Amino acid sequence: MTLPQPELGLVVHYSYLFLTRTRNIGDSGKERPCLIAAVFEDKDDPPKTGVLYLPITHTQPGPEEAAIEIPPNIRHGAGLDGSRQWLLISQGNKDTWPEDVSHRPNRPGVFHYGYLPPAFFKQVQLEFQKLYVSAKFNIQLR
């Protein structure tokens, strides 16, 4: 299977670097499902496609983190496992596509899980935009 094109709402397997971790030289983050929340063209020469990833986690977020719990039917439809999961919307990684995207565990050549449904993705966008505008969103440049 080939690497998919970056699209809004697509959940991919990505090496996410949490902002709360100390950044060490060579720290590549933790591989996990991440939502592609934004796609843009960097002004490099030649231009590169940039992506904003929001992490998906099984760990219930703390009070200082903004997150949306992913309902069971949406987890299933997006190709995620059945355990409770949250989409963190108070932090993200900005990276060049497809750097740090990898195949799913035990699924060689498969780099994505699936898509969040458009209505749920719209809800995520609205909540994320509120945090971004209020400067309560933290971004890690990769």
Per-residue tokens: 19: 């902002």
Residue 25: which domain range? 10-141
CATH number at residue 106: 2.30.30
To the nearest whole number, what is the mean pLDDT of the chain? 91
2: in domain: no
Question: pLDDT digits over 9-23, tens only?
Answer: 999 999 999 876 545
Strands (E), 42-124: 49-57, 67-69, 86-88, 91-96, 112-115
* 111 lies in some domain: yes
In-domain check, residue 3: no
Q: Which helix (H) or strand (E) holds 30?
A: strand 30-41
- Confirm whether 68 is domain-assigned: yes
Distance CA 52, CA 16 (A): 11
> Looking at the domain assignment, is residue 1 inside a domain?
no
pTM greater than the 0.85 cutoff: yes
Is the pLDDT confidence value at 25 over 50? no
Query: Is it the case that residue 121 has pLDDT exceeding 70?
Result: yes
The reported pLDDT for the residue numbered 28 is 64
What pLDDT, in 10s, does the model give residues 109-120? Answer: 999 999 999 999
Number of domains in the chain: 1
What average pLDDT does range 85-102 have in this prediction?
96
Question: Is residue 24 predicted with pLDDT exceeding 60?
Answer: no
What span, in angstroms and rounded, lies between the C-alpha atoms of 12 and 101?
Answer: 7
